């Protein structure tokens, strides 16, 4: 239990010196679902990666499995 108290107490100076997140002005304003969907769709298309797997380095075991499947199946 003492470790939990110490780790929490050690984080207080970090919290005091950290910067707050920017405010989201329109967070509490009512928005029609269609408008929210249109905004989300636009954001998804603008910030979309070509492939989710391109974000991660290739894994050797996956590559060897694919080679096995392609060559021996």
pLDDT classification of 33: cutoffs 50, 70, 90: very high
- Mean pLDDT over all residues of the chain? 77
Instruction: Record the pTM.
Output: 0.37
More reliable by pLDDT, 54 or 34: 34
d(CA 64, CA 60): 6
pLDDT-derived band at 14, boundaries 50, 70, 90 = confident
Q: What is the pLDDT of residues 51-68, one digit of tens each?
A: 777 777 777 776 777 777
- Is the separation of the CB atoms in 18 and 12 below 8 Å? no
């Amino acid at each position: 239990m003492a470790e939990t108290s110490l780790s929490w107490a050690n984080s207080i100076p970090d919290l005091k010196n950290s910067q707050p997140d920017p405010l989201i002005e329109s967070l509490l304003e009512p928005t029609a679902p269609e408008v929210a969907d249109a905004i989300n769709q636009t954001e998804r298309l603008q910030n979309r990666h070509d492939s989710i797997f391109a974000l991660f380095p290739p894994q050797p075991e996956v590559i060897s499995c694919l080679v096995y499947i392609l060559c021996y199946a």
